[in-house]
Amino acid sequence: MPKAPVQGKGSLKDLAKRQVFKPVLFDAYTQSNTWPEVKPESIQTLLDLLEVLLSPIGSYNQIKAESKDKPGSLPDAPEVLDSVTLGFNSTVKALERQVGKPSKVLVVFVCKADISPTVLTDFFPTLACTSSYGGEPVRLIALPRGSMAKLSQIVGKPHTGIIGVRAGLKGGESLFSIANTVAPVTLPWLDENKMAAYMKPNVKVLATSAPVKPPKTKQQKKK
């Protein structure tokens, strides 16, 4: 007679602990997820500078929220709003629009450790690289875990995990100076493809044959 299964050997509880390997598709041309290294002291200084530069946005959003039922009492939007992008959509759109043009967004801050799934941030190195063509290199800076809560509090907007800073930000000289110490994103395979020569498609025609089917009769169509 077959032996009864022993608890802990082959049981579901035991199987759940076993290491398994699953095949995944890796493409070096789309999964270039190399982020530049940033010194911890530089990150802290950059966060402090962001707090100073973006605090007018937080004050404005707070007054805006409190003035919903008081039309006409809202002050003018702070000037800094024209020099930054807040959030995923606005930042990605700004970077895509500047490809091949003089760079407008020069620094991108991403709360990489606070954003999931990772597919939302994995493409930023490639985007930072391509958006640098035709202008200054875009500096990509990954912020440590917990930074999203800090940035959201500063600007008064929840879930603010991505911020782009445009050239000409008033009072942003120190921020740009520190950000420029971070190495730009480089993708060797992309640079090689830029220099590749265009080859016209080589299309040929093959003479072959195929059976000719007789046309269907009316009776066959009715069936």
Q: Does 123 share its domain with 91? A: yes
Instruction: Give the tens place of pLDDT for each residue, 59-78.
Output: 999 988 888 777 667 788 99
| Average pLDDT for 10-21 | 53
Residue 223 domain-assigned?
A: no
The CATH code of the domain that includes 132 is 3.30.1330.30
In a domain, 220, yes or no: no
Same domain, 137 and 209: no
Closest CA to 79 of 62, 66, 60: 60
Statement to judge: residues 110 and 43 lie in one domain: yes
- The confidence band for 213, taking pLDDT boundaries of 50, 70 and 90, is low
d(CA 40, CA 19): 34
Return the pLDDT at 134. Answer: 80
Structural domain containing residue 206: 14-33+187-213
Domain count, the chain: 2
Question: Are the CB atoms for 141 and 38 separated by under 8 Å?
Answer: yes
Q: Quick one: residue 100, left, alpha or beta (phi over 0 = left, psi -120 to 50 = alpha)?
A: left
Rounded to whole angstroms, how far apart are CA atoms 91 and 106? 11
pLDDT (tens digit per residue) in 98-124: 987 877 999 999 999 999 999 899 999
29 and 41 inside one domain: no
Using pLDDT thresholds of 50, 70 and 90, give the confidence band for residue 25: very low
pLDDT at 193 over 70: no
CB 90 within 8 A of CB 157: no
The model's pTM? 0.71
